[in-house]
Amino acid sequence: MSQIQRLEKFLSLFSSDNKVLVVINADPDAIASATAIKRILWRKVSEVKITYFNEIRRPDNLTMLRVLDIDIIPMKKIDHKKFDKFVVVDSQPDHHECFAMFRYDAIIDHHPLSCDSADFNDIRPEYGSCSTMMTEYIKAADIKPSEHLATALIMGIKTDTKGFLRHTAMEDVRAFQFLYRYANPSLIARIENAELREKDLDFIAKAIRRKKILNNRIYSHTGKIETPDQCVITADFFMKIDSVNWSIVSGIYDKKLIIIVRNDGLRKSAGKAVKEAFGSIGSAGGHRSMARVEIKVQELENGLEASETVDPTANTAVAEWIIERIEMHAGIKTA
């Protein structure tokens, strides 16, 4: 199917009286992609709103929303009954329980296929970012992106491909080239330079104190956390250590154990590793060099086997349990 055919099929879902809700797990790629959908549907439907369910606390993400004047609404503040069409982008309905609140008319995603229950499904795991896919929609619609939209889409591409250093397709490079002529490099630099808050330094310091390095893999369980983004920032920070090729940072948030995994992309896929290690217990998956695990604390309390019962309030026990599953169940080979 050509991109023009995809665009026509997507647009055929909507009429001028529709009110559309785009649902995302907000990160730069999802935010940019949702903003592109809003632009594509401008003047074609009655209303388009973007809603998200996660907390946005990373400085770069907050700066991106502010300087690009992007309007997204927390899910708890949205009246979903006012909408009659629903789109999920950069995720699929089974990726998080909050997505299950809606029956989607369209799913657009670059993660591996896990759910294709909508009338329109565009799933392209070979792409490095969903922003690349949405750039192709913009081009097919013959839309000249605004400076803010082009900058947002570039941030989505750069973030999910880590500056083209991890899973990247030629389509990602071509999309970047197209967008760059419309984007604002100064805004890109402003967003990218907003990396850390003072709080983040304190959290990283705590993670350093609790670190354990084993077989070139650094582990740190940080106990209760304010937001999973703290683990993301720290996992990325730990990958700067020259002797480390895997970074595993975890914490307890909203009655869930969150595990963030990063690697250098040269060894076993992080997504496959966490799925093997934790997929039978909770939500686990991701890409070759980045992955995420979410396990309800109740599952840790109960344990799948008597020998794996874990007290979630005991940081040492949880840390050792994570290390054991990664080392023994994920089948990661030491370089």
Summarize pLDDT for 163-184 with one digit per residue, the tens. Answer: 998 889 999 999 999 999 999 9
| Domain spans of the chain, in order of start | 3-192, 198-329
Q: Is the pLDDT of residue 123 over 90?
A: yes
pLDDT for res 3 = 94
pLDDT for res 12 = 97
pLDDT for res 313 = 59
Of 70-84, 85-99, 191-205, the one with minimum mean pLDDT is 191-205
CATH code for the part of the protein at 198-329: 3.10.310.30
| Burial (CB count <10 Å: 0-12, 13-18, 19+), residue 193 | exposed
Tens digit of each residue's pLDDT (9 = 90 or more) over 291-324: 999 999 888 776 544 445 566 656 888 999 999 9
Tens digit of each residue's pLDDT (9 = 90 or more) over 18-38: 999 999 999 999 999 999 999
Domain spanning 3-192, CATH class: alpha beta
One-letter identity of residue 223: G
Task: Give the sign of the dihedral formed by CA 74, CA 134, CA 88, CA 81.
Answer: positive
Of 31-35, 158-162, 266-270, 308-312, the one with minimum mean pLDDT is 308-312
Q: Is the pLDDT of residue 275 over 70?
A: yes
- Under the banding of pLDDT at 50, 70 and 90, the label for residue 114 is confident
Cα(44)–Cα(17) distance, integer angstroms: 9
